[in-house]
């Protein structure tokens, strides 16, 4: 008897006896009648095999259709089989298919899945994954399906807008801004907002987009007191700073990292472009919540270009604020930063004769450190007292002789008004110290000065002794 002459009931029993997927598939495809009669059974069988975990998910009809761009009928028949079955597993082919279509960015597959399956029980976090992937067509398809919410936030507060901001997916961010229910100031763990996340990775387009809404709190601080502006400065993102300053409500002095305001932080790192942007944006150059201005910080760190910029700001305060018990001018002197010393000495209000906690002047400190160039800069300013004593009542000349700095000794001796015979706490003159140190170059240099020579002949000559054989 021909196969097609068998009753349908018998054909169905034959199909039920074929357990292997390939055998059943081949039987169903013999002719149109068998396909029409048994296709629903074929998909139901496929579903049972999937749920029993006897084959891998790649053999599921829906999974196959997504991978191989199967026909629309495959989606519908597979989903009908799933809808009419009593699930024996929490894992359904349609859920796996949704995840796969999302990963592969298959808009057409997602559309077919949403049209033929009720996904109200699906994991809502899938929308966050879509935002993370960044395909706006995929994302829009998921939102328009009605199964996912544009304002969804997971248990830690992560939203789709945050995911887009982190990864710079401007198209998705722009799409989300069209929904009133999307919270532009939502906070993730630690108080991080979408704007903060965009700033962190320098996504300027998204920053501008968020700021332009006028609904973003640009002065919001995270749990650590850091504002988006502070973060942009620390990340050395001048374009982000520029975008943030477009919001008139931005406080350029607010927020702190390591107890420094945005301007102080920019000065510390020598970010000249950012310093200029902040000053143009209204940052207070004298703002010093910790007692140290941006100018002092820049000077201490040796950022000459930043110092020059700040010194040109009207109303800037020039002072000598302490840095580890030393003024920032003193710090520049002992570090040998010649141009910085020259710049600071030219400013009104600078005390060139300031002493540190050891009681030594700037000049003595520079000589002690052997910083010849900065010592010369101090002397060239004409504002230092070359006879100002420090510890042990020693003058700069005493110290230069004691340290053996012949070039500095020569320069000091050329200064009008210097006292070459000043005596220290022990009654020693610079010449007496040169004798003790047996520094002949400096000895003869001193003896070229008439006052020293006279003092040597009439005051110290009796104490001069020479080793046997010496001239």
Helix (H) or strand (E) holding 327: strand 326-327
| In the predicted structure, residue 28 carries a pLDDT above the cut 70 | no
Work out the average pLDDT over 24-45.
57
246-263: per-residue pLDDT in tens? 999 999 998 888 889 999
The DSSP letter of residue 318 is: P
Least confident of 103-117, 192-206, 258-272, 400-414: 103-117
Q: At 330, list the tokens.
A: 């003193």
Taking the C-alpha atoms of residue 341 and residue 196, their distance in angstroms, rounded to an integer, is 39
What count of other Cβ atoms lies within 10 Å of the Cβ of residue 287?
14
% of the chain residues with pLDDT over 90: 46
In the DSSP assignment, the letter for residue 185 is: T
In three-state secondary structure terms, 434 is helix
CA neighbor of 294 nearest in space, from 318, 324, 273: 318
Chain CA centroid to CA 337, Å: 29
Instruction: Place 370 in a pLDDT band, splitting at 50, 70 and 90.
Output: very high
The whole-angstrom separation of Cα 435 and Cα 465 is: 10
Q: pLDDT: is 468 or 350 the higher one?
A: 350
Q: Give the DSSP per-residue string, 209-253.
A: HHHHTT-S-TT-B-TTS-BHHHHHHHTT-HHHHHHHTTSTT--TT
Contacts of 307 (CB under 8 A, 6+ apart): 295, 298, 299, 340, 343, 344
Tokens standing for residue 195 = 């704007």
**Whether pLDDT at 125 is above 80:** yes
- What's residue 121's pLDDT? 67
Both tokens of 116, joined, read: 């033929």
Residue 223 in this model has a pLDDT that exceeds 60: yes
Question: Mean pLDDT across the stretch 220-238?
Answer: 92
Question: 180: left (phi > 0), else alpha (psi -120 to 50), else beta?
Answer: alpha
Task: Let me know how many helices (H) and strands (E) the chain has, helices first.
Answer: 28, 2
Query: Phi/psi of residue 293, each to 5°?
Result: -75, 165
**Confidence band, pLDDT 50/70/90 cuts, at residue 2:** low
If one counts every other C-beta atom within 10 angstroms of the C-beta of residue 55, the result is: 12
- H runs (alpha helix) in 117-187: 126-133, 136-144, 160-167, 170-176
Element holding 16 (H helix, E strand): helix 8-17
| Count of Cβ atoms closer than 10 Å to residue 65 Cβ | 23
153, β-bridge pairs = 159
> What pTM, to 2 d.p., does this model score?
0.64
């Amino acid at each position: 008897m021909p196969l097609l002459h068998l009753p349908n009931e018998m054909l169905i029993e034959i199909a039920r006896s074929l357990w292997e997927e390939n055998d059943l598939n081949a039987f169903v495809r013999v002719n149109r009648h068998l396909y029409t009669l048994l296709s629903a059974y074929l998909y139901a069988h496929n579903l049972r095999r999937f749920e029993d975990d006897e084959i891998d998910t790649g053999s599921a009809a829906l999974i196959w259709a997504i991978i191989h761009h199967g026909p629309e009928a495959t989606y519908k028949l597979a989903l009908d089989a799933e809808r009419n079955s009593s699930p024996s597993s929490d894992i359904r082919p349609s859920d796996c298919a949704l995840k796969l279509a999302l990963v592969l960015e298959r808009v057409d597959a997602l559309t077919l899945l949403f049209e033929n399956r009720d996904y109200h029980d699906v994991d809502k976090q899938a929308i966050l994954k879509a935002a993370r992937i960044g395909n706006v067509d995929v994302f829009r398809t998921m939102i328009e399906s009605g199964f996912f919410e544009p304002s969804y936030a997971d248990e830690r507060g992560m939203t789709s807008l945050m995911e887009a901001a982190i990864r710079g997916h401007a198209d998705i961010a722009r799409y989300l801004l069209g929904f009133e229910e999307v919270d532009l100031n939502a906070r993730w763990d630690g108080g991080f907002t979408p704007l903060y996340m965009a700033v962190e990775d320098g996504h300027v387009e998204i920053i501008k987009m968020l700021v332009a809404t006028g609904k973003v709190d640009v002065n919001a601080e995270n749990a650590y007191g850091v504002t988006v502006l502070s973060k942009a400065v620390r990340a050395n993102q001048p374009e982000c700073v520029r975008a943030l300053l477009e919001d008139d409500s931005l406080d350029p002095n607010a927020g702190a990292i390591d107890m420094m305001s945005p301007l102080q932080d920019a000065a510390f790192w020598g970010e000249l472009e950012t310093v200029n942007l902040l000053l143009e944006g209204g940052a207070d150059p004298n703002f010093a919540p910790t007692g140290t201005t941006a100018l002092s910080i820049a000077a201490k760190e040796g950022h000459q270009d930043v110092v020059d910029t700040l010194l040109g700001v009207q109303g800037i305060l020039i002072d000598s604020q302490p840095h580890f018990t030393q003024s920032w001018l003193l710090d520049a002197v002992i570090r040998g930063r010649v141009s910085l010393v020259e710049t600071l000495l030219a400013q009104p209000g600078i005390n060139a004769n300031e002493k540190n906690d050891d009681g030594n002047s700037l000049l003595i400190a520079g000589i002690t450190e052997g910083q010849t160039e900065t010592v010369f800069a101090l002397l060239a300013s004409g504002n230092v007292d070359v006879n100002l004593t420090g510890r042990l009542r020693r003058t700069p000349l005493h110290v230069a002789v004691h340290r053996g700095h012949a070039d500095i000794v020569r320069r000091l001796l050329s200064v009008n008004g210097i006292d070459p015979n000043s005596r220290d706490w022990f009654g020693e003159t610079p010449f007496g110290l040169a004798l003790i140190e047996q520094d002949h170059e400096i000895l003869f240099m001193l003896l070229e000065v008439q006052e020293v020579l006279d003092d040597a002949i009439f005051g110290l000559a009796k104490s001069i002794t020479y080793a046997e054989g010496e001239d």
